[in-house]
Amino acid sequence: PPQLREALAAEFRAVGVETFVSDQVAATTADPPLILGGEIRNFSTESRWGREAHIGVIVRIRSPERVLVEKRIDVRESGYHWNNFNTEILEALLNRVFAQFVRAVATDPDLAAALRAHAQSRRPSQ
């Protein structure tokens, strides 16, 4: 979804990774960029005896030739409120989990290692 793409791009920029969303890539460089993609497995809130928000995604970083890293990242938060079915409370909970998820992706050590290894492989030899 566009909001997730924009949030991830902003967070990667915040940690120092040059990032473009797919519609910005057109002719930025002759060197093809890495591509962040994946499959959303869970993006939900739930309210029963308590409430929970959960975002689970299989995240992939790939070059045009191959997948460099693939990892499942899950973030969830739960809690209780006397009015568990209040939509504003559930929306606030999902927004918190969304922010945590974006941060978790941008700071994940396995994803960062793949980015570093790719950057090092692109440096000219001395």
pLDDT given at position 19: 80
This prediction has a pTM of 0.82
Distance CA 29, CA 18 (A): 12
Tens-level pLDDT at each residue, the chain (126 residues): 888 888 998 998 898 888 877 655 554 555 667 888 899 999 999 988 889 999 999 999 988 888 999 999 999 999 887 777 788 988 999 999 999 999 999 999 999 999 888 878 877 655
DSSP annotation of 14 reads H
Tokens 């040059």 belong to which residue? 18
Cα distance between residue 6 and residue 83, in whole Å: 32
Identify the pLDDT of residue 30.
59
